[in-house]
Chains A and B, each alone.
Chain A
């Protein structure tokens, strides 16, 4: 009986402590809710409505029937037409379209003569999962679209599918650049927030501030080492990607350096912001984890971005990892340069400015 009352005493005490630490309690409630919402509503491994451009070499009833059928299939979202020529090099590398359909000139006439004309589908295969469903369904969509007009004869057209950037459809090619973003998010934000919180938790910050040291000197001195750590991590990941998985590096090293530096800065600022909220290292870690989840789930790292509903995509746009992962995939796999990844660079700059401003404002308050 005594044993039970002691157990109850410990149990009660544990609950009191749990409820007192409001941040931890918030996490315990918040994380399952967030996971449930994200996995339940936002994540869709069967991507539909991927942006598709059409290169119209011919316009006729057959071409229109094919495009109509593609739209109806829900795999493709026809967002416009492009001029013949360099569509792949421009719009696909910049990530504007996941598919480009090319209907060659003279398509209708060749079809009418029974010459089995070609119809081409260029696929951005950097993310094999995202690209797989649409390109797999394409031949039968074309077939069915033409069936009412031509009857059940042998395939009237030849569908040609070009998997760009990742012809073998290897997941590693897509995962490794994404992992770079995820690992930097995790370690950079966590390291800085914990390092800064540690000073306050152990009381060493008081000794530090009782010297003529200025607050920004503390901040710069504490954060810079982690920039170095970040670059070491990047170097390790790049070497591993190349040596173990044969991930190519096709694009501009300068663009890569710009993206990586900016992304490291964003995460350091985030860690700095967490340190102004957290009162212990434990809390700093929890906050990082809280920010880490959406970075994994909504950034397009694990699940195709295009497959998410619009509201989830909107949230994803606010996540730095989304832009970074896109930029790095474009640079490494598609050979992009700085001008191509600019649409990903400027949002990172905006996010950095916002986080850094909020963090600085909070930092000033916590010193007192």
Chain B
């Protein structure tokens, strides 16, 4: 590894009121990459992110962000890391410009006016500069939040579900901006529940019940799990679903639009379960590539068995 890692933490643990929220978490992120952070609600993503940007002190473990110690150098980290909170955390009763100016001044940036003007330009917020932040739509709020989090040109951006509840067009736009930032050398760690966003990441870390379950590039994840998937299309799928749900060899069955995705790790068993539908009229049975979504649903189900 020639360049130092943007994030290098190990053994991070944090408990709240006796409940272990994050349990011995490791993560290494090389600079300039977009890393996806996935996991069910309440799996500890936010807590982990907050530990990495110096907002929370881990109970155990430690490490560095941008080469700075996350425990001892939290102030230096805050000056160089941009953190976008899950919940909109700017001031609704200030205008777009006032919010950006405020954040620029908290970071003690030189030439606040220029910095804010540039940000308004870059994020196409200029026409809305005088609008109160509370009156912005969801997509614009997120864009303002990203602008605010990257005002001080952070080397590392931590984005906590930045696109939750945002329409598809605004999400695309948001991701274009994230990729643009990454091209400029910014490292991005982004948590999300959207698979179309996850596949755009260079690497995915999946966490459940505070533990890391998998850490690999998106394309490798289904292969690593070893899950085989068969797609059944056609009319009257409900009885098929009901039968296969209880069948041996079928570990998971999920609806995808007008089709069923039936998955299992035991290929022979899966084939045996499916066999009787292969020649049934009105049904098309094809081998399918196991997608990320099947993989994650499988991981979550497994995690529940393992940790609960």
Contact = CB atoms under 8 A, between A and B. Distances in A.
Nearest to B74: A212
Contact of A206 (B57, B75, B89, B106): B89
B55 interface: yes
A210 interface: yes
Nearest to A209: B55
Interface string B52-92: 01011100000000000000000110110001010111111
A211 B108 CA distance: 10
A5 interface: no
Contacts of A203: 85, 87-89
B103 A207 contact: yes
B106 A208 contact: yes
Contact of B107 (A205, A212, A214): A212
Contact of A368 (B57, B79, B87, B89): B57
A210 B79 contact: no
Given A203-B88, A203-B89, A204-B91, A212 B79 contact: yes
B6 interface: no
Contacts of B88: 203
A24 to B, nearest CB: 22
Interface in A174-210: 202-210
Contacts of B106: 208, 211-213
Interface string B26-63: 00000000000000000000000000010111000000
Contacts of A209: 55
> Chain A, interface size: which category?
10 to 19
B50 to A, nearest CB: 8
B148 interface: yes
Contact of A212 (B78, B87, B90): B78
A210 B78 contact: yes
B90 A207 contact: yes
Interface in B96-126: 103, 106-108
Given A203-B85, A206-B55, A368-B56, A211 B107 contact: yes
Contacts of B75: 212, 214
Nearest to A221: B106
Contacts of A204: 89-91
A75 B76 CA distance: 69
Nearest to B16: A368
Interface residues of B, number: 21
A205 B148 CA distance: 14
Secondary structure type dominating chain B contacts: loop
Nearest to A368: B56
Contacts of A205: 89
Interface string A200-243: 00111111111111100000000000000000000000000000
B74 to A, nearest CB: 9
A357 to B, nearest CB: 23
Contacts of B103: 207, 211
A211 B103 CA distance: 8
Interface string A278-290: 0000000000000
B56 A210 contact: no
A207 to B, nearest CB: 4
A205 B57 CA distance: 17
A207 B107 contact: no
Contacts of B87: 203, 206
B95 to A, nearest CB: 15
A205 B87 CA distance: 11
B189 to A, nearest CB: 14
A207 B79 contact: no
A207 B57 CA distance: 17
B85 A206 contact: yes
B55 A211 contact: no
A202 B93 CA distance: 11
A127 to B, nearest CB: 44
Nearest to A213: B106
A205 B107 CA distance: 15
Contacts of A214: 75
Interface in A353-368: 368
A221 to B, nearest CB: 10
Given A203-B85, A203-B89, A204-B90, A210 B53 contact: yes
Given A203-B85, A206-B85, A211 B90 contact: no
A208 B90 CA distance: 9
Contact of A207 (B56, B85, B92): B85
Contact of A211 (B78, B91, B92): B78
Nearest to A211: B106
Contacts of B92: 202
* B56, B57, B90, B92: most-surrounded residue (chain A CB, <10 A): B90
A206 B53 CA distance: 11
A143 B54 CA distance: 81
A210 B92 CA distance: 18
A206 B85 CA distance: 8
Contacts of A368: 56-57
In this complex, which of A202, A204, A211, A212 has the most chain B Cβ atoms within 10 angstroms of its Cβ?
A: A211
Contacts of B76: 212
Nearest to B103: A211
A363 to B, nearest CB: 16
Nearest to B82: A210
A213 B88 CA distance: 19
A204 B133 CA distance: 13
Interface of A: 202-214, 368
12 contacts: A202-B92, A203-B89, A204-B90, A205-B89, A206-B55, A207-B83, A207-B148, A208-B106, A209-B55, A211-B79, A212-B78, A212-B108
Given A205-B89, A368-B57, 16 more contacts: A202-B89, A202-B92, A203-B87, A204-B90, A206-B87, A206-B89, A210-B55, A210-B83, A211-B78, A211-B79, A211-B106, A211-B107, A212-B78, A212-B79, A212-B108, A214-B75
